[in-house]
Amino acid sequence: MTSFSDLNLNPKVLKAVVEAGYETPTPIQAGAIPPALEGRDVLGIAQTGTGKTASFTLPMITQLARGRARARMPRSLVLCPTRELAAQVAENFDTYAKHVKLTKALLIGGVSFKEQDVLIDKGVDVLIATPGRLLDHFERGKLILNDVKIMVVDEADRMLDMGFIPDIERIFGLVPFTRQTLFFSATMAPEIERITNTFLSNPARIEVARQATASETIEQRLLQFKPTRRDTSAAEKREMLRAAITAEGERCTNAIIFCNRKVDVDIVAKSLQKHGFNAEPIHGDLDQSHRTRTLDSFREGKLRLLVASDVAARGLDIPSVSHVFNYDLPSHAEDYVHRIGRTGRAGRSGVAISIAVPADEKYLTAIENLIAKEIPRAEAPWSPGARPEGEERPAPRESSSSRTRRSRGGRGRPEEGDRKAPEEAAAAPRAEPEREREAPRTRDRDTDRRPPRDRDGDRRGRGRDGDRIVGMGDHLPDFIALSFEERRGGPAASEAETPEVEDEAPETVAAVETVEAPVAEDAAKPKPKRRKRVTKKAEEATPEDAAG
Ligand code: AMP
């Protein structure tokens, strides 16, 4: 078995690795570090949790330990899809570069340009950025990318989902042709394949098994139920969620609850709070300091339930999460794997409970095909027909128009859900849920994503999901959803509010198989002349380009 000392890392980096408590490199590290140190391009097909961050930070620090940065000219660049991931990568640099003198700057939205400018002006060895913020700095003339020797693209498939690919292509065109590229993606969608063929030169390809096959420590359960009425289905789902959490009792020390849409993240979090649960939402419309506070208190065990969107929770490294609840089944099967992978990390046990209604059938089939097994059906802790005495009757589903009216009608500032109501209504028939990543109208706070240039109506911001179709056949006119009944207040679900955090066990990484396969036919191929073509493409890019 390879050990870290076999990898030719700078001794100061090795020292930091030992201090971090790592004994052996994970497969992605053993596969990616040697070619990266040789200066080769690397294509790492690995998801978060496999140790991939160290697989690029360790060789980068080793290489950057020699030489110094000049003012406004960073020597390396790491692009991440979200602010949280960028911050996590920056923390990794702090950990592994603590014995090496390296300067770094984190360019993410929500932080003043001025502070970031000061750092860039001094000269940084490592620039960690979300694509939108990086381009903002570049366009303000504050940043020169001509000295970038190593460029990392992290979580490329998530960049694709978010419609970031035009920005990435543009950035590739701004850095020197002779740079080294380290490129990571959990999956190889055709569009990702195209990008790697265009911008990587004879990469060492390292693939580690998808987490789908390695999540044996996670107990999966499916709670299926049929809502009594269409207009009460959301309230019934929330009730099912509460019952599921309550049924887990103290075993559920903390949990991430996933919703497909930002509006539901807010609604579910508020509803849980109302019923006495210790819950907070996290998604891209919350400001950065709020998100950081929420995450910190979840990490510290002060917050028990984190209600999240896929984008906000993507790649977060929170070691002990006892439960994951899927309030919605994800419409992309691989998101199911990412979501449940938030629990059962590093050999710990974990429980993943998913709620499914009949409309989820096609998502369920796709998930079960991907994980190659049936999710065990569990007895639902609650059923709409057998409501326990005194339990809240599901409130009729609020139509967009009723919410809009209410928010206009004197409640002052509309709340999150109100502002998003028309979108929610449009998505309600559930042709394809309007996911967080599909509708960034203004810059997305998760991602600092810039709105596509030639956006028009429905064409905006699509990732690989393709079209969202809302057919009249499925559409529920708002007036039908209005109810004449008064909502009866339900008793708060009682539950222990003091979360206990599991004992910290040393973290190990469950990646399975390493294959290193240099792409032979590319070896003789000269690098394409890309800069001119790419710049033009970026200028012409539409969201459809990103969708591929
Ligand atoms: P990542 O996939 O980069 O998000 O890493 C997931 C977790 O694995 C992080 O908490 C790292 O600190 C940890 N980790 C990375 N490399 C190793 C290693 N070689 N041995 C044990 N843990 C590691």
Among residues 329, 345, 371, the one where a domain terminates is: 371
Confidence of residue 181 (pLDDT cuts 50, 70, 90): very high
Ligand 1 interacting residues, C-beta cut-off 6 A:
22, 25-26, 29, 48-54, 317, 507-509
The reply to whether 536 falls in a domain is no
The reply to whether 505 falls in a domain is no
* CA of 110 relative to ligand 1 center, distance in Å: 27
Asked if residue 23 and residue 128 are part of one domain, the reply reads: yes
Nearest atom (ligand 1) to Cα of 47: 2
Asked if residue 129 and residue 56 are part of one domain, the reply reads: yes
pLDDT surpasses 50 at 315: yes
Averaging pLDDT over each range in 40-49, 207-216, 381-390, 440-449, which range is the top one?
40-49
Name the residue range of residue 121's domain.
Answer: 4-207
* Total domains present in the chain: 2
> What gap in Å lies between CA 351 and CA 323, rounded to an integer?
5
Asked if residue 268 and residue 185 are part of one domain, the reply reads: no
pLDDT surpasses 60 at 371: yes
| CA-proximal residue: ligand 1, atom 5 (nearest) | 51
> What gap in Å lies between CA 259 and CA 67, rounded to an integer?
46
Asked if residue 197 and residue 122 are part of one domain, the reply reads: yes
| CA-proximal residue: ligand 1, atom 9 (nearest) | 51
Laid out side by side, the sheet with 305-308 consists of 218-224, 350-356, 323-326, 255-258, 305-308, 279-282
Q: Of the residues 94, 96, 507, which should be mutated to test ligand 1's pocket, given the most ligand atoms within 8 Å of the CB? A: 507
Q: Of the residues 28, 53, 154, which should be mutated to test ligand 1's pocket, given the most ligand atoms within 8 Å of the CB? A: 53
The reply to whether 440 falls in a domain is no
Asked if residue 270 and residue 164 are part of one domain, the reply reads: no
Are 143 and 120 spatial neighbours (Cβ–Cβ below 8 Å)? yes
pLDDT surpasses 60 at 348: yes
Q: Which long-range contacts (CB under 8 A, 24 or more apart) does 274-278 make?
A: 274/492, 275/242, 275/392, 275/490, 275/492, 275/493, 276/492, 276/493, 276/494, 276/495, 276/497, 277/242, 277/245, 277/304, 277/305, 277/493, 277/495, 278/303, 278/304, 278/305, 278/497, 278/499
The reply to whether 398 falls in a domain is no
Average pLDDT over residues 11-40: 93
Give rounded-to-5 percent helix, strand, coil for the chain: 40, 10, 45
> CATH no. for residue 274?
3.40.50.300
Asked if residue 331 and residue 365 are part of one domain, the reply reads: yes
Q: What is the pLDDT of residue 122?
A: 93
pLDDT surpasses 70 at 403: no
pLDDT surpasses 80 at 520: no
pLDDT surpasses 70 at 159: yes
Q: Which residues, including other chains, have CB under 8 Å from residue 181's CB and lie 6 or more apart?
A: 41, 42, 150, 151, 152, 153, 199, 200, 201, 203
How many residues in the chain? 548
* CA of 501 relative to ligand 1 center, distance in Å: 20
pLDDT surpasses 80 at 308: yes
Asked if residue 358 and residue 285 are part of one domain, the reply reads: yes
Asked if residue 177 and residue 70 are part of one domain, the reply reads: yes
The reply to whether 327 falls in a domain is yes
Confidence of residue 285 (pLDDT cuts 50, 70, 90): confident
Asked if residue 273 and residue 323 are part of one domain, the reply reads: yes
Confidence of residue 199 (pLDDT cuts 50, 70, 90): very high
The reply to whether 35 falls in a domain is yes
3-state secondary structure 87-100: HHHHHHHHHHCCCC
pLDDT surpasses 90 at 324: yes
pLDDT surpasses 80 at 339: yes
The reply to whether 223 falls in a domain is yes
pLDDT surpasses 70 at 473: no
pLDDT surpasses 60 at 471: no
Point out the least confidently predicted range of 277-286, 437-446, 491-500: 491-500
Average pLDDT over residues 430-458: 40
* CA of 159 relative to ligand 1 center, distance in Å: 22
Among residues 180, 207, 234, the one where a domain terminates is: 207
pLDDT in tens, 79-136: 999 888 898 899 999 999 999 999 999 999 878 889 899 999 999 999 999 999 999 9
* CA of 29 relative to ligand 1 center, distance in Å: 10
The reply to whether 481 falls in a domain is no
| CA-proximal residue: ligand 1, atom 14 (nearest) | 51
Asked if residue 342 and residue 203 are part of one domain, the reply reads: no
Q: What is the pLDDT of residue 338?
A: 81
When the pLDDT of each residue in the chain is averaged and rounded to a whole number, the result is 74
Asked if residue 148 and residue 104 are part of one domain, the reply reads: yes
* CA of 317 relative to ligand 1 center, distance in Å: 9
Asked if residue 120 and residue 264 are part of one domain, the reply reads: no
* CA of 55 relative to ligand 1 center, distance in Å: 9
Q: What is the pLDDT of residue 192?
A: 94
Nearest to residue 89, comparing CAs of 77, 72, 99? 77
pLDDT surpasses 50 at 77: yes
Point out the least confidently predicted range of 162-166, 364-368, 389-393, 515-519: 515-519
Among residues 207, 242, 259, the one where a domain terminates is: 207
pLDDT surpasses 50 at 416: no
Nearest atom (ligand 1) to Cα of 50: 2
